[in-house]
Amino acid sequence: MKSEQPTAALPDAPTNPVQARLEAPLSLRERKKLKTRQTVRREAYRLFAEQGYENTTLEQIAAAAEISPSTLFRYFATKEDLVLTDEYDPVITAALLDRPAGEPFLRSCREALIGLIRALLQHERQELLTRMRLVTEVPALRAGLFRAGNSPQELYLSVLTRRAGVEHPTYEMRVTAAAIGAATVEAVLQWAAQDGREDIADLVDRTFALLESGFAGV
């Protein structure tokens, strides 16, 4: 159950930044929780693919994952969370804060995102495609992306605030975070809508080129 790398890690094996946080020594309790989360999500995606998001009830998911509905609600507060929550936020935040402080924020985002996405796609491309395709298809999920709590807007805003070393964001920071958040969401959704055929790095590049140019030509 913890049979990871019995000998030595391949020197150049690309490490999955998300999975990496799971390698830390965990208690039995925490390992079980993690496993349950994964099982629930896997069963949920399977059922969503088979019957559609709206036609799948939480009871069915709980039954498939072999837990009680009560427990399901403890793991995922809402049905949307099954699709919308992930463990990327701290990684993205760290990557953004790693960029040089003087760099324009748009440039920081472009560089950090392209790097992260490339790494991520090597490991979780299929799951990401499944999730994002669901988001494009189910209106409730698309709206949920902008729900308070873990929206991309809030992530960008917290980074902007921290970079500036201030306590409360300015209005300009809010607008910037909102616009970049919506634009990057659009990039990922466009990628998923085409089943990942278009290179997502290209899409992100075009997105930020547009933002930097002040929407020239539109």
Which residue is listed with tokens 């392209």? 114
With binding defined as CB under 7 A, does residue 51 bind DNA?
no
Binding partner selected for residue 34 from DNA, a second copy, none, CB under the kind-specific 5 to 8 Å limit: none
Size of the site for a second copy (CB under 8 A): 43
- Could you tell me the CA-to-CA distances from 46 to 65, 88, 98, 144, 215 in Å, in that order? 11, 22, 37, 21, 40
Q: How far is the CB of 7 from DNA (least distance, A)?
A: 27
Q: CB of 79: closest distance to DNA in angstroms?
A: 3
Tell me whether residue 44 or residue 92 sits nearer to DNA (CB atom).
Answer: 44
Work out what residue 129 binds among a second copy, DNA, none; the CB cut-off runs from 5 to 8 Å by kind.
none
Query: Which one, of 83, 153, 96, 87, lies nearest residue 123 by Cα?
Result: 87
Question: In angstroms, how far is the first alpha carbon of the chain from the final one?
Answer: 54
DSSP designation for 191: H
**Whole-number minimum distance, CB 168 to DNA, in Å?**
29
Instruction: Please answer whether residues 18 and 88 qualify as being in contact, where contact means their C-beta atoms are separated by less than 8 angstroms.
Output: yes
By beta-carbon proximity to DNA, the closer residue of 68 and 170 is 68
Q: Which of 4, 50, 167, 172 binds a second copy (CB under 8 A)?
A: 172
Among 18, 63, 97, 183, contact with a second copy (rule: CB under 8 A): 183
**Neighbouring residues of 119: CB distance < 8 A, sequence distance ≥ 6:** 14, 16, 17
User: Which range, of 1-9, 62-70, 126-134, 205-213, touches a second copy by CB under 8 A?
Assistant: 205-213
Q: Residues 75 to 94: which contact DNA by CB under 7 A? A: 75, 77-80
Question: How many whole angstroms separate alpha carbon 84 and alpha carbon 44?
Answer: 12
Q: How large is the angle between the packed helices 105-137 and 152-164, nearest 10 degrees? A: 170
Which residues bind to DNA, rule: CB under 7 A?
A: 27-30, 32-33, 36, 56-59, 66-71, 73-75, 77-80
